[in-house]
Amino acid sequence: MANSEMRSEVMAHLTKDIIPFWKGLRDNENGGYIGYLGFNLKADKKAVKGCILNSRITWFFANAYTLLKEESLLDEARHGFAFLKDVCWDKKNGGVYWSVNYDGTPAETLKHTYNQAFSIYALSSYYEASGDKEALKMAYQLFDLIEGKMRDELGYLEAFDAEFHEIDNEKLSENGVMASKTMNTLLHVFEAYTELYRVDHNEKVADKIRWMMDIVAEKIYNPKRHRQEVFFDAAWNSIIDLHSYGHDIETAWLVDRGVAVLNDNTYEKKMSPITQDLTDEIYKVAFDGFSLANECERGVVNEWRIWWVQAETVVGFLNGYEKTGRAEYLEAAKKVWQYIKEHLIDQRVQNTAGREWYWRVATDGTPDESKPIVEPWKCPYHNGRMCFEVIRRLSDGK
C-alpha cells in the first residue's frame, strides 16, 4: 500500500464514518453527547454521561475542525465546550466531576487527576480552534488545581472526593492492585500539558513537562526490561509485573511529541533513546505481523485486540519510522491499519449515519458482543487521533 493510499483511506474513514457517527450522538435536549450505545447499536438516552467521554468528544471535534475547517465541526466542539463548562464543572469546589446523569445533574462527584487532564486537553484544543479565551482560562484553572491539590513532591496523585480529600484510586487501578500512582495518569497529564503549552507557550507549563519526562526516565521506564512499569505505590515502587503494550507504544510517540513541542535539545537527547527502545521492544514482543496484543501480566499475554491499542500502534510505528527511518515500522503501521479495516471497524453498518469500531476482537477477529460501542471510556479519542496523525504524517507528497 502506498502512503498516499493509506492517507486517502484514513481520510475517508474519518469524514464518512467517525465524524457522522459522533454527530449522531449529540444530545440537543440535555447537552453533551449520549453516554451509551450498546453492541446492538441501540442508544440509551438516559445513560450516565462520562465527563471524560464528553471532554474527549470536544477535543475530537476541535481537532477535526482545525484539520478540515468545516464549520459544522466547530459547532460540535462549541456544543461540547458548553457542556463541559456548564454541566461537568463543579462550580462550588472547582474541577470536573467524574460523571453526570443524562439530564446534567451530578452523578459521581469524585475528582480524578486523569479526568482534569483530559479537560485541559479538550479546552486547549478548543481554544486553538475557536479563539475563545474563556477556554484557555479554564485550562489554566485546572492546571493550577492539579499542581496545587493533586500531587506531592514525587508525582501526581490519583483520586479525590468532591472537596479534594484523597480517596482510593478505584477508577484507574486494575489487575487486582490499588495504585497510589500510575503511569497512565502521568502520561495523560503530560499529554494535556503538552497541548496547553503548544497553544500558549507558558513556561510554567514547560517546566512541568520537563519534570514529568524526568519521572518517566527515572521512575517509570525500566531499561532492563525495555518497558514502562504501570502501577506504583506512593514512592514509585512498581507493585505488579505488567507490560502494557498499548501504553508503551502510545508513550513513545507522545513523549516524542512533547520533546518536539518544547524544542528542547537536552530532553531530546535524554528521551529519544527511551522512546526508541519502547518502540523497538513493542515491535519485537507484541506485534504479530498484523496487530498488537493487549498486555502481558506475570508472563501471561492477554491476546484480545483492543480498539485503542491498535489505533495507538499505527501512530507509534509511523512515529518510529519518522524518527529512525526503519522501513519495517512503516510497513507495520500499514499492516495494523489493514487489520483495523478488516476486523475492528464495525462491518454491520454501511450507511450515511457513520460507524465506529468494536471495543475488542478475539485473535480470530470475532468481536466481543458483551462490550458496547459507546460508554464513558469508548469515544473518538484514540481512533480519531489516529486519523489526524496519519493524515498529517503521510502528506500527499510522501
Residues of the chain with pLDDT > 90: what percent?
97
Contact in structure between 318 and 387 (CB atoms under 8 Å): no
**How many Cβ atoms are within 10 Å of 91's Cβ, its own excluded?**
7
**Bridge partner list, 367:** 361
Question: CATH number of the domain that 267 lies in?
Answer: 1.50.10.10
pLDDT in tens, 3-39: 999 999 999 999 999 999 999 999 999 999 999 999 9
User: First-to-last CA distance in the chain?
Assistant: 12
CA 13 to chain centre: 19
- Cα–Cα distance measured from residue 148 to residue 142, given in angstroms and rounded to the nearest whole number: 10
Residue with cell 476541535: 62
In order along its 398 residues, the chain shows pLDDT tens digits of 999 999 999 999 999 999 999 999 999 999 999 999 999 999 999 999 999 999 999 999 999 999 999 999 999 999 999 999 999 999 999 999 999 999 999 999 999 999 999 999 999 999 999 999 999 999 999 999 999 999 999 999 999 999 999 999 999 998 999 999 999 999 999 999 999 999 999 999 999 999 999 999 999 999 999 999 999 999 999 999 999 999 999 999 999 999 999 999 999 999 999 999 999 999 999 999 999 999 999 999 999 999 999 999 999 999 999 999 999 999 999 999 999 999 999 988 766 689 999 999 999 999 999 999 999 999 999 999 999 999 999 985 44
Q: Is 96 exposed, middle or buried (0-12, 13-18, 19+ CB in 10 A)?
A: buried
Asked if residue 286 lies in contact with residue 293, where contact means CB atoms within 8 angstroms, the answer is yes
Give the side-chain half-sphere CA count within 13 A for 142.
31
User: How many C-beta atoms surround the C-beta of residue 5 within 10 A?
Assistant: 11
In a domain, 318, yes or no: yes
pLDDT tens profile 30-89:
999 999 999 999 999 999 999 999 999 999 999 999 999 999 999 999 999 999 999 999
Got the DSSP string for 210-266? HHHHHHIIIIIEETTTTEE--EE-TTS-B-S-EEEHHHHHHHHHHHHHHHHHHT-HH
Q: Which DSSP helix (H) or strand (E) runs through 126?
A: helix 113-130
What is the per-residue DSSP string for 33-49?
Answer: B---B-TTS-B-TTS-E
Q: By the 8 A CB rule, do 26 and 76 touch?
A: yes
Nine-digit cell string for 289: 505481523
Q: At residue 385, what are phi and psi to the nearest 5 degrees?
A: -65, -40
Domain assignment of residue 350, yes or no: no
Which amino acid is located at 185 in the chain?
A: T
Is residue 126 situated within a structural domain?
Answer: yes
With CA atoms as reference, report the closest residue to 291 among 332, 250, 320, 248.
332
CA 298 to each of CA 24, 176, 225, 234, 304: distance values in angstroms, whole numbers, following the listed order? 42, 12, 13, 22, 16
Q: What is the DSSP secondary structure assignment for residue 117, as one 8-state letter?
A: H
Tell me the Ramachandran region of residue 385: left when phi exceeds 0, alpha when psi lies from -120 to 50, beta otherwise. Answer: alpha
Boundaries of domain holding 190? 44-330
Q: What angle in degrees, to the nearest 10, is found between the helix axes of 327-339 and 3-13?
A: 30
- Residue 383 domain-assigned (yes or no): no
The total number of structural domains in the chain stands at 1
In a domain, 37, yes or no: no
- Is residue 353 assigned to a domain? no
Interatomic CA distance for residues 124 and 131, integer angstroms: 10
The model's pTM is 0.97
Residues 244 and 144: their CA atoms lie apart, in Å, by 30
393 lies in some domain: no
**Cell numbers 486537553: residue:** 121
For residue 170, being part of any structural domain is answered with: yes
